[in-house]
Homo-oligomer: A and B are copies of this chain.
């Protein structure tokens, strides 16, 4: 079953194959659905870019889209995630895309659902298509990951992106630096080295900023937020210290003036909106991987059974 749940389940060769497909889609080429295939998008949390990015990807692939939002569903009658997904499978969904606030929500589904599950974000856990679009953006820029220095700035501990990006960038050959407030350190993440913000900025090919997730971990330390930009964020001064060819990334939505000076969001080095564009291509590649294999498996079943 070609699920996509966590980056650490993908081999390097799987990742590179997805990035290659995504690059094809960026050129307007590649597989599209020839029959009517249905994708159910289940978003149990608000989302703009991930949800619409998947919807655009699906429509570009000529897939049929079913947009599920929890607040208009039988989830209000207490239906479990398993029964909801099983229902969508019975009704004809060929794959499900799920965002859910609970870490590892997909564990209750594995082995019991017969259609691919694409994880669009679980709790503070994983967000593999975000990692893949980050990788595509870096690869477009530098051609390879070997020998690059990537610094990840901010709330390392609660970020869906920090852990999976650090793990996968490391094994693809990059060096990872972490930087940010002490209280956001993640002692369980062995894939990067903690350094001072200025040191990180000066040495990076990629400066990857993380969103301060006000809404997620509600430690209302207003002082921290007010002084965040100066102490830990990307100010105009720090931008000037970056290497000539270095780029700025952020998974968005950006807290302008917190993680980054608002004038830098669309500066020449910024790849923030490029990342969003790449998100569509990466998700097309991930959907292709889920559905094409599925179709092949089904064909084999027909032939041999």
Contacts and interface: CB of A to CB of B under 8 A. Distances in A.
Contacts of A66: 52, 55-56
B52 A83 contact: no
A280 B279 CA distance: 33
A177 B79 CA distance: 28
Q: Which of A53, A80, A83, A274 has the most CB of B within 10 A?
A: A83
A64 interface: yes
A90 B55 contact: no
Contacts of A59: 36, 38, 64
Interface of A: 36, 38, 40, 43, 46-49, 51-53, 55-56, 59-60, 64, 66-69, 71-80, 83-84, 86-92, 214-215, 252-256, 273-274, 276-277, 279-280
List the number of copies, as a whole number: 3
Contacts of A75: 46, 48
Given A46-B71, A78-B255, 6 more contacts: A36-B60, A48-B74, A79-B253, A87-B276, A91-B276, A92-B277
A69 B72 contact: yes
A45 to B, nearest CB: 9
Contacts of A48: 68, 73-75, 79, 84, 87-88
A43 B56 contact: no
Contacts of A69: 72
Nearest to A54: B91
A47 B68 contact: no
A253 B77 contact: yes
A4 B53 CA distance: 26
B46 A74 contact: yes
A274 B36 CA distance: 20
A254 to B, nearest CB: 7
